[in-house]
Amino acid sequence: MNMDYENRLPGNRDLGLRRKYEQLQAELETLFQVSQVLSRSLDLRETLAGVLGALHDGGGLERGMVTLTDTSTAEQRVVAVHGLGTVRLDDVRYQPGEGVVGLVLEEGDSVVLKRIADEPRFSGKLGIYDDDGPFIGVPIRVGAASVGVLAAQPSSDDTEQLRERARFLEMVANVIGQSVRLSWEVERERQELTEERDTLRRTVRAQYGFDNIIGHTQPMRRVFEQARQVAKWNTTVLIRGETGTGKELIANAIHYNSPRAKGSFIKLNCASLPENLLESELFGHEKGAFTGAMAQKKGRFEQADGGTLFLDEIGEVSAAFQAKLLRVLQEGELERVGGTRTIKIDVRVIAATHRDLESDVQAGKFREDLYYRLNVMPIYLPALRERMEDIPDIARFLTGKIGKAQGRELELTDSALRVLMHHDWPGNVRELENCLERAAVMSENGTIDRDAVLVTGIEEKVSMGRTATRGVDLDDPDLDERERVIAALEQAGWVQAKAARLLDMTPRQIAYRIQTLNIKVKQI
């Protein structure tokens, strides 16, 4: 401090004023230290303990204590103390109205004691205060509500100084109140996020549960059993099957029913990217690794660390890229494009393909060592035509899904189902879903009937019939007229005169039916 300035201070003329000035300076410095402590961390216990330390070291306020209200019990919990020995804070609680703490909260105002022993309500639970010394307790407020108490024992019992010390503690309590409010808001948001996360996990687990995958035929039951068993372990899985059979759905179910369900489920279609982009997408790249690499990027493998990586259409990658992929699968480590640092990863790989990998291995198109690395646990998904009994359930599920997307109720009639059952579905479930969506678009009243299905593009296949119609009972009352005529034509080898006799019609009548029902005659 400048000596000329110091000589002009009132303290040189009045010792009392000088002491007040020095105390004010100390309080300002302490308040600054308190604000710094409160800004360091969101750990409330840690910061409050730091505040009490600052009050002790710079403010002459010893044996500080902070209590906060437990909203579930209305008790006052001691959350921070300076100068306490081995007593556990969680063991010290004040009931509503108990002790000086209760007095402060009842009155909603500061309590200043010149001598602790003179206050009969003082409980002395902590056992750290000098009974012959002074004591100050001030409320901690969040808004208009008193939510706790800040207390300390000043070093002096001078009455005027006690009032000043109380005002200073009130200032500190106001700052603490803001930190408490912020901490509670953060905790509430964290709890809401945790609850939302847990709800989403339950929803996802239910959505991708094996019980929600439609299929009651023996081939599908075998798939479910294999997937349930392999989900328990980190075994690499190779899902085989035609396009549109639901390979990604099975991969989802395996991940979300595995110990890795809390980790990420990352997907990549290997056929959707050229080789140079595929390497960057899977392994990541460093800034400046190639033109356009403006920043460092983690690849799908790193994103899936601790979780599962689903590599769809794995059979489409080139031989050169297969070698790079094999190293990651064997060693569990990779290097980003343009990088030199080796990165360890913990990823479970589920791959899928519609290709005949065995033939590709023999032809030299797919590495044999990579094939064996992927084909640890193969799961074969049957084509839809191999489980026709599942079509009604799948079609009804898809109809509900489409109706939800369109914001209306959709109904699938039995006649429409019979048409669907007579199709070979080379595009599998994906083709079935597209067919039903087109039919829904054409259904103004929300009823998907036979006519709505026939205008979607499978009309010709249905009209040509299936060999199975040879065994159809022509007197079945559930058959509509078009299906009955097609069945008769099938049984008659598409000879119209013979089909007419089966239906007790004349050749002219059946020819008229074929024309009006828009049946394309099959040439045998």
Per residue in 307-362, pLDDT (tens digit) is 999 999 999 998 889 999 999 999 999 988 888 889 999 999 999 999 999 999 99
First and final CA of the chain: distance in angstroms? 114
Closest to 507 measured CA to CA, from 484, 485, 491: 485
**What's 520's DSSP letter?**
P
pLDDT band at 69 (very low <50, low <70, confident <90, very high): confident
Dump the DSSP string for 145-192. EEEEEEEEEES---HHHHHHHHHHHHHHHHHHHHHHHHHHHHHHHHHH
Answer yes or no: are the C-beta atoms of 92 and 78 closer than 8 Å.
yes
Q: How far is CA 419 from CA 434, 471, 494, in A?
A: 15, 16, 19
What are the structure tokens assigned to 468, written together?
Answer: 């199975």
pLDDT at 367 over 90: yes
Note the pLDDT of residue 11. 47
List all residues 6 or more positions away from 62 whose beta carbon is below 8 Å from its beta carbon.
Answer: 56, 82, 83, 152, 153, 154, 155
pLDDT at 519 over 90: no
pLDDT at 306 over 90: yes
Q: Which domains does the chain have, with CATH numbers?
A: 20-186 (3.30.450.40), 210-382 (3.40.50.300), 385-464 (1.10.8.60), 470-524 (1.10.10.60)
Residue with the larger pLDDT of the pair 247 and 522: 247
pLDDT at 521 over 60: yes
What are the structure tokens assigned to 184, written together?
Answer: 């509670």
Strands 343-344 and 333-334: antiparallel
**What's 456's DSSP letter?**
I
Residue with the larger pLDDT of the pair 141 and 202: 141
- What is the C-alpha separation between 409 and 402, in angstroms, rounded? 9
- Per DSSP, the three-state class of 356 is coil
Dihedral sign for Cα atoms in the order 473, 479, 484, 486: negative
Specify the DSSP element, H or E, that contains 35. Answer: helix 15-38
Rounded to two decimals, what is the model's pTM?
0.59
Note the pLDDT of residue 20. 65
Q: Report the percent of the chain where pLDDT is more than 90.
A: 32
Residue with the larger pLDDT of the pair 60 and 305: 305
Per residue in 227-255, pLDDT (tens digit) is 999 999 999 999 999 999 999 999 999 99
Q: Report the percent of the chain where pLDDT is more than 70.
A: 87
The total of other beta-carbon atoms located within 10 Å of residue 284's CB is: 23
Window from 162-176, 382-396, 442-456, 507-521 with minimum mean pLDDT = 507-521
Q: What are phi and psi of 148, to 5 degrees?
A: 180, -175
pLDDT at 522 over 70: no
pLDDT at 461 over 80: no
Angle between helices 44-59 and 159-207 (to 10 degrees): 160
What are the structure tokens assigned to 244, written together?
Answer: 């549109």
Residue with the larger pLDDT of the pair 237 and 122: 237
Note the pLDDT of residue 6. 47
Q: What are phi and psi of 193, to 5 degrees?
A: -65, -40
Per residue in 90-120, pLDDT (tens digit) is 667 888 888 888 888 888 888 889 888 888 8
pLDDT at 523 over 70: no
What are the structure tokens assigned to 380, written together?
Answer: 């074969």
Q: Supply the mean pLDDT for the chain.
A: 84
pLDDT at 468 over 80: no
Dump the DSSP string for 327-350. HHHHHSEE--BT----EE---EEE
Dihedral sign for Cα atoms in the order 281, 287, 288, 291: positive
Note the pLDDT of residue 232. 93
What are the structure tokens assigned to 23, written together?
Answer: 């105390």
- What is the C-alpha separation between 389 and 427, in angstroms, rounded? 17
Residue with the larger pLDDT of the pair 521 and 219: 219
Segment 199-210 shows an average pLDDT of 69
pLDDT band at 467 (very low <50, low <70, confident <90, very high): very low
Question: Which amino acid belongs to residue 311?
Answer: L
Answer yes or no: are the C-beta atoms of 288 and 338 closer than 8 Å.
yes
Window from 116-130, 153-167, 431-445, 451-465 with minimum mean pLDDT = 451-465
Note the pLDDT of residue 282. 92
Note the pLDDT of residue 48. 84
- What is the C-alpha separation between 132 and 302, in angstroms, rounded? 64
pLDDT at 459 over 60: no
Note the pLDDT of residue 40. 72
- What is the C-alpha separation between 251 and 223, in angstroms, rounded? 11
Segment 392-399 shows an average pLDDT of 93
State the burial class of residue 277 (Cβ atoms within 10 Å of its Cβ: 0-12, 13-18, 19+): exposed
What are the structure tokens assigned to 161, written together?
Answer: 């100084």
Note the pLDDT of residue 16. 60
